[in-house]
Amino acid sequence: MRYRNIGTMILVTCFLILSGCGNTVTSSTSTVTKPISKNYFIFDTVVSIRVYDERISDTHFKEIEQLLEHINETMNRFEEESEVSSINQFAGESAVQVSEETFRIIQTAKEYAERSGGKFDPTIGPLVDLWAIGNGGSKVPPQAAIEEAKQLVDYEKLLLDESQLAVQLDDIDMTLDLGAIAKGYAADVVANYLQKQGFSSAIIDLGGNIVAMGNKPDGSAWSIGIQSPEENRGEYLGTLEVRDQTIVTSGVYERYFIDQDQLYHHVLDPFTGYPDNNELVSTTIITDQSMHADAMSTSVFLLGLEKGMAFVEATEHTEAIFVTGEHKVYVTSGLKDRFKLTSEAYEFAE
């Protein structure tokens, strides 16, 4: 079953480990210079796990796969037996009791909806399905259909009962979708698993949701390349050194269609029902948990440069890179000495 990055779908950072790993570290952690890796296809994307430790085994990779499959089977609304599918099935009728894991993700999604003033909305499924950008959509939907779908998007009608771990959509035909947060959560789950197994140096890539665990084997930071919004995959805007952090980007440059010479990207504004048309072309979030980076990258993109910058500056342990259509790059205060702009097509805003 396909897992679609629906809701305000996240278009994430393409990354590259830009520098070598140095000499092998022969400590008790058994770290190696070349990764032992495994790829999976899940969440409708390629998942890559690269662990720099010779102790990693097929059993570990199998257990990681089972963790990912569990999240997919629980939170994917296109899985008929999933908890999210059940919530949608009983929309407007009754509450559905879910696992604590699913409840916490939904609760977090609603918190981001509240913090962003509704710009991030986990009930945006009807609009995303209508536009189908990246899933076969090629024409602007009729205005009447957009207006009808907009009426079904309202996070305030996502009702949560923490005492019963119960979730209800208040109106029939509403659709809960966790596609803008669940992939980040899955990256965190994999990172937590590896840490509990004693592994400290790894790169986790869920279709571009990156978690850089620990250091490189030589003890230095990971050097991550941030995708240039208007260049081919692998062309980088700049580089950033990170340790034990996650990097997630939301942008306009991959999932889109062109109708009558107008580009329509996948980041939809719940208030207008259309792809957002502010000055930004991408936002990158750097923080400690990928789940939060996932939700926040969409939130700040839709909030726009000024409000998005304020949103990030008010959030602890979080930084961001904003890129505008005029090729200007803005960074939050904590990145001024960390992010290195390498593309000649862009310049830092004064």
Q: Which of 19-23, 227-231, 257-261 has the highest mean pLDDT?
A: 257-261
Enter the tokens of residue 146: 């957009």
pLDDT at residue 13 in the model: 39
pLDDT at residue 14 in the model: 41
Does residue 350 surpass a pLDDT of 90?
no
What CA–CA distance (Å, rounded) separates 19 from 33? Answer: 12
Does residue 229 surpass a pLDDT of 90?
no
When pLDDT is averaged across residues 97-102 and rounded to a whole number, the result is 98
The DSSP line for 276-324 is --SSEEEEEEEES-HHHHHHHHHHHHHH-HHHHHHHHHTSTT-EEEEEE
Tens of pLDDT, residues 255-282: 787 888 888 788 899 999 999 888 999 9
CA 245 to chain centre: 14
Measured CA to CA in angstroms, residue 314 lies from 71, 255, 279, 305 at distances of 30, 30, 21, 14
Enter the tokens of residue 160: 């949560």
pLDDT at residue 1 in the model: 31
When pLDDT is averaged across residues 320-339 and rounded to a whole number, the result is 96
Domain region containing 281: 1-350
Does residue 26 surpass a pLDDT of 60?
no
Mean residue pLDDT across the chain? 89
What CA–CA distance (Å, rounded) separates 28 from 51? Answer: 15
When pLDDT is averaged across residues 15-34 and rounded to a whole number, the result is 46
pLDDT at residue 31 in the model: 63
Enter the tokens of residue 206: 């869920």
**Which distant-in-sequence residues (6+ apart) come within 8 Å of 348 by Cβ?**
328, 329, 330, 331, 341
Number of domains observed in the structure of the chain? 1
108: CATH: 3.10.520.10
pLDDT at residue 231 in the model: 67
Radius of gyration (Cα) for the chain, nearest Å? 20
Contact assessment for residue 121 and residue 153, using Cβ atoms and an 8 Å cutoff: yes
Tens of pLDDT, residues 175-193: 999 999 999 999 999 999 9
Does residue 121 surpass a pLDDT of 50?
yes
Considering Cα of 192, then 196, then 201, then 203, what sign does the dihedral take? negative
Q: What is the pTM of this model?
A: 0.89
